[in-house]
Structure formats: C-alpha cells, structure tokens
C-alpha cells in the first residue's frame, strides 16, 4: 500500500529577505504574512490537511534544529522525523536522506517534497492537486504553477501532451529576462517551476544511483550510520560530507525521461524577495502597504515593514523600506532581487549584521544584546517556562543577573538560590553556574557582563539537557 509522506526542507538562509532574514534566523522561521505563523509553521499545518498522510519528515541543518523543534511544537503538528544535515549539500542529498528515512518507516512511500519557505493560502486547491498527483502512476511529478504574470525570478517548465491530470515535460528554462518571460506566458504551455515534487522514494534513489552515484553512496552510508540525539536524527558527518553539492533539478529532474508535471492554479509564492512579501499585504488607494508601525504621506507604491519602531516617509515612490533593530534597508522596488548582492558586500566587510541578529535564539529561549562596550556588555535573557541553561563556567568574564520578571532558580557553585523580581546575584569569573526557569511564565533577566573577553565561545559546559556539552 502506498503511503504519502510529506517532506519539508528547512535549511535555507533566505538572504534576499535581509535584514529580517539572516543566517542566524532565516526566513522559514519568520511570519512574513501577518498570519500568526512562520512560513515553516504554515507549511507544517498544510501537511496536516492531506488525507491519510504520514507524519512529516523535516530535513534541516544542525544550526536550526532547536528552532525547528520549537516551532513544530508550537504548531501542534505531529512530526515523524527531524533529520540533521551536518553540512549543507543542496537539495538532492537532503531529499535522499528523507527517502531513506521514509523507506525505513513506511511501505512504498511517495514523498511530497516542499521547501519550508513556500506560502500557499488556498489550502483546498493545493489538496486537490496533491490528490491528483497521488493517483498518477508516474514516479516523478513536478508541481508547476500557472503563471499570473511574466516573472523573471522563477524558472519555467515547458509542458507537452496530456495524460489524465498530468502533462509530459518538454524542457526546463532557467530564470528568464523579461522578454523571454513574456513569450513564455503568451505561449500558454509554460509553468513556473515551484520546486514542489511528488516522488516515489525508491525510484528517486534508483535515479540518484544512476545519475549521481557519489551522492547516492555518501547518503546511503551516512544514513546507515545514523544516531539519535534527543528528538533528532544525526547522519554521519564524515560520510555525508563526501556527497557533492547538487540540486535535485540538476541531479535527477533534468536527466530523467519519465517526468510528468501537474498544473497548479491556486496562489503560491516562494517568498523569495521583498516584492513577494509586499504582495501579501493590503494596499491603500495609493498602492502603499505597511507592516508594523508606519506612516506614509504623499507616497505611492511603497512597502514599509517596521519591526521595532515607528517608520515614516514623505514623498516616497516605488520603494521598499525594511526596518529592524540594528539595520535598515531602503531599495528601489525594481531592484529588490539584488538584496543578495548587498549581503555579499556586507560579508566582505566582515559586518556581523550580514548574518547575525541582535536577538539570538537558543533551545531554552533567547538573548539580545542591549549595550556593548569595550569591557562590558548588557543583555536581555528570556528563559522559557521549565527551561534551563547549561551548567557552565566562564574564564574571562563575570556576570551580574537582575531578575526583571518571573522566578529564577540559580545554581552557583553547588548552592541553590531562588530569586524573584528586582532581586539580583553576582556570578564571579570561574564559577560553575546554571540558570533555570521553574515557573509557568517566561523569565526575563538583565545580564551585565564584565571582563577582558566577552565572546560567546567563552563557555565551558559541564552538563546540558539539550546535549550541547
């Protein structure tokens, strides 16, 4: 009996949506649509509506494992497996790991592969096309989106003869210039390549073994050396690192002869750039859209996203303005696809803002730098209910903790202290200490660090419930 297994790829970095999306907290974990769910969470909830589907398999990087697990819990979605890629190797190896896992868990699995940063509002239309794909006997089915406009940001699929609900694939076209995009739309037999696939797991691995044997062998060996770590599955780092970094399009889809494509006419977006985010926001009579606290006067066709403060504008036209705690992007709307180049330039200048947010997420909660001086730093630490930092020590810095809200249980050199709002404690250099939130509400602590080195790598962990020792 065939089993439908949803697969979500959640390891991308989304640099074209900087400064909101950065390597430390990329776009799949952000709510860009004001729905209350991140893109990952909306993708997870979408898998729940599929009839008779097995629990979802998520493939992500080690860096994002706790973010994935936390957002999955918040979405109240049953997860089959969270597989960790020890190094980034593109989509073909990631899907291979999911295929091996699905075969180990289910009989004759078909994989519904999606990236976690797609957004689909019309869930019923998506469910209908998934059901049609399941009914097909084709081993590989691509989901092509019927174009609503000439789009230069997507690749295209040219299709031919029809058989049931699917069509033969005539060719793949890379992201075109505007003239070619217009000709594709006018021709009527081109679809946007959505990057969503229905794959027979066994057939995919057989094709990979034929076309990319190095990928197949590396993934097979790495998967057979898998180890369990809390709720995660770790594949072998050394073996997986031997895999070439290749997309599924180049590895299999553009070489296979038994491809079919199924047209999808519902709304879909890969939220690949800021114009896509703006398209999901309501506009005023002048074509302006605002997310957050913003005000525009005498402006047209301008999108503003204010994340931490009031943003105002006068006389703006065809602009994108994105404000975060530590960076502001102002761009011509027609140039929003070039944000990735801006991030590359910031990286070349060793600007931390290119990849890191002021707010850093940890499995126990988060922290944010409020003030950074030469020999001191002030942070806001938020510890989730029931969560605990590791038992740790610092060689170069002392810390002073002030409890802002909540109740803190502090272990300091084998002594336990219970502190509440407005109470404080001093953590000397070289002291073993652990911070725990025993309460049912978030614990907020203001931490003042002082010392000759304040880097995050000045941590010696002795015990950690999240396995980070």
* Residues in the chain, overall count: 469
pLDDT number for residue 458: 95
Of 264, 295, 310, the residue that ends a domain is: 264
On whether both 297 and 437 belong to a single domain, the answer is: no
Average pLDDT of span 125-137: 92
Checking if the pLDDT of 1 tops 80, the result is no
Q: The CATH number of the domain where 93 resides is what? A: 3.90.550.10
pLDDT number for residue 463: 95
Beta-strand ranges (E) seen in 271-423 are 289-291, 294-297, 303-306, 311-314, 319-323, 328-332, 359-362, 365-372, 376-383, 391-393, 397-405, 408-412, 415-419
pLDDT number for residue 419: 98
Residue 17's pLDDT band, with cuts at 50, 70 and 90, is: very high
Query: Does pTM surpass 0.85?
Result: yes
What are the phi and psi torsion angles at 264 (to 5°)? -120, 125
Is there a domain that residue 46 lies in? yes
On whether both 135 and 252 belong to a single domain, the answer is: yes
Of 348, 369, 404, the residue that ends a domain is: 348
Residue 263's pLDDT band, with cuts at 50, 70 and 90, is: very high
Tally Cβ neighbours within 10 Å of residue 462: 11
On whether both 335 and 196 belong to a single domain, the answer is: no
Checking 452-455 for CB contacts under 8 A at 24+ apart, the result is: 452/375, 452/396, 452/397, 453/396, 453/397, 454/372, 454/375, 454/376, 454/377, 454/396, 454/397
pLDDT number for residue 468: 82
Average pLDDT of span 353-373: 92
On whether both 386 and 305 belong to a single domain, the answer is: no
Checking if the pLDDT of 235 tops 90, the result is yes
Checking if the pLDDT of 251 tops 90, the result is yes
Residue 266's pLDDT band, with cuts at 50, 70 and 90, is: confident
Is there a domain that residue 51 lies in? yes
Share of the chain above pLDDT 70, in %: 100
On whether both 322 and 441 belong to a single domain, the answer is: no
Of 313, 328, 348, the residue that ends a domain is: 348
pLDDT number for residue 213: 98
pLDDT number for residue 133: 94
Q: Are residues 191 and 144 in contact, defined by beta-carbon separation less than 8 angstroms?
A: yes
Q: What is the largest CA-CA distance in the chain?
A: 75
Question: By mean pLDDT, which of 85-99, 118-132, 206-220 is the weakest?
Answer: 118-132
pLDDT number for residue 23: 93
Checking if the pLDDT of 49 tops 80, the result is yes
On whether both 324 and 368 belong to a single domain, the answer is: no
Is there a domain that residue 125 lies in? yes
Average pLDDT of span 98-122: 95
Checking if the pLDDT of 68 tops 80, the result is yes
Is there a domain that residue 353 lies in? no
On whether both 116 and 201 belong to a single domain, the answer is: yes
On whether both 318 and 243 belong to a single domain, the answer is: no
Checking if the pLDDT of 51 tops 80, the result is no
Show the domain range for 386: 359-463
Is there a domain that residue 170 lies in? yes
Is there a domain that residue 354 lies in? no
Quick: pLDDT tens for 378-395: 999 999 999 999 999 999
On whether both 254 and 309 belong to a single domain, the answer is: no
Is there a domain that residue 53 lies in? yes
Checking if the pLDDT of 97 tops 90, the result is yes
Q: The CATH number of the domain where 426 resides is what? A: 2.60.120.10
Q: Which of 51-55, 57-61, 268-272 has the highest mean pLDDT?
A: 57-61
pLDDT number for residue 16: 93
pLDDT number for residue 146: 95
Residue 2's pLDDT band, with cuts at 50, 70 and 90, is: confident
What value does the mean pLDDT of the chain take?
Answer: 95
- Rounded CA-CA distance 139/137 in Å is 6
pLDDT number for residue 350: 94
The count of structural domains within the chain is 3
On whether both 344 and 450 belong to a single domain, the answer is: no
Beta-strand ranges (E) seen in 146-220 are 156-163, 166-173, 190-200
> What letters, b where the CB count within 10 A reaches 16 and e where it falls short, cover 328-357?
ebebeeeebbebbebbeebeeeeeebbbeb
On whether both 70 and 132 belong to a single domain, the answer is: yes
Q: Are residues 191 and 240 in contact, defined by beta-carbon separation less than 8 angstroms?
A: no
pLDDT number for residue 153: 86
On whether both 222 and 86 belong to a single domain, the answer is: yes
Residue 50's pLDDT band, with cuts at 50, 70 and 90, is: confident
pLDDT number for residue 12: 83
Paired strand residues for 199:
111, 140
């Amino acid at each position: 009996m065939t089993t439908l297994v949803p697969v979500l790829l959640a390891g991308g970095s989304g640099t074209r949506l900087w400064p909101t999306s950065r390597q430390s907290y990329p776009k799949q974990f952000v709510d860009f649509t004001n729905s209350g769910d991140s893109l990952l969470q909306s993708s997870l909830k979408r898998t729940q509506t599929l009839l008779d589907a097995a629990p979802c398999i998520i493939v992500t990087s080690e860096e994002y494992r706790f973010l994935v697990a936390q957002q999955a819990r918040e979405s109240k979605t049953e997860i089959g497996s969270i597989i960790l890629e020890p190094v980034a190797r593109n989509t073909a190896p990631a899907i291979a790991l999911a295929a091996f896992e699905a075969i180990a868990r289910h009989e004759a699995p078909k994989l519904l592969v999606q990236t976690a940063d797609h957004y689909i509002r019309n869930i019923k239309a998506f469910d209908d096309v998934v059901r049609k794909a399941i009914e097909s006997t084709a081993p590989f089915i691509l989901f092509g989106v019927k174009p609503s406009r000439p789009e230069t940001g997507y690749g295209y699929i040219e299709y031919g003869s029809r058989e049931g609900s699917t069509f033969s694939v005539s060719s793949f076209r890379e992201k075109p210039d505007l003239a070619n995009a217009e000709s594709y739309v006018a021709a009527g037999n081109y679809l946007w390549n959505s990057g969503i696939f229905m794959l027979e797991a066994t057939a995919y691995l057989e094709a990979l073994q034929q076309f990319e044997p190095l990928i197949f062998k590396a993934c097979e060996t790495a998967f057979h050396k898998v180890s369990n770590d809390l709720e995660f599955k770790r594949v072998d780092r050394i073996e997986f690192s031997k895999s070439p970094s290749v997309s599924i399009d180049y590895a299999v889809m553009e070489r296979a002869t038994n491809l079919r494509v199924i047209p999808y006419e519902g709304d879909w977006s890969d939220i690949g750039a800021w114009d896509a985010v703006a398209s999901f926001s309501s506009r005023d009579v002048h074509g302006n859209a605002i997310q957050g606290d913003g005000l525009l006067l005498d402006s047209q066709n301008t999108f503003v996203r204010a994340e931490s403060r009031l943003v105002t504008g006068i006389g703006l036209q065809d602009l994108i303005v994105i404000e975060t705690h530590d960076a502001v992007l102002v761009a011509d709307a027609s140039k929003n696809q070039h944000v990735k180049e801006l991030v590359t330039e910031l990286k070349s200048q060793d600007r931390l803002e290119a990849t890191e947010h002021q707010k850093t997420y940890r499995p126990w909660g988060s922290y944010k730098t409020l003030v950074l001086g030469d020999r001191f730093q002030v942070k806001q630490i938020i510890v989730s209910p029931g969560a605990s930092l590791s038992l740790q020590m610092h060689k170069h810095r002392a810390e002073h903790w002030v409890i802002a809200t909540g109740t803190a249980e502090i272990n300091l050199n084998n002594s336990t202290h219970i502190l509440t709002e407005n109470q404080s404690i001093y953590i000397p250099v070289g002291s073993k200490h652990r911070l725990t939130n025993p309460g049912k509400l978030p614990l907020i602590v203001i931490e003042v660090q002082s010392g000759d080195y304040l880097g995050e790598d000045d941590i010696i962990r002795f015990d950690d419930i999240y396995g980070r020792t």
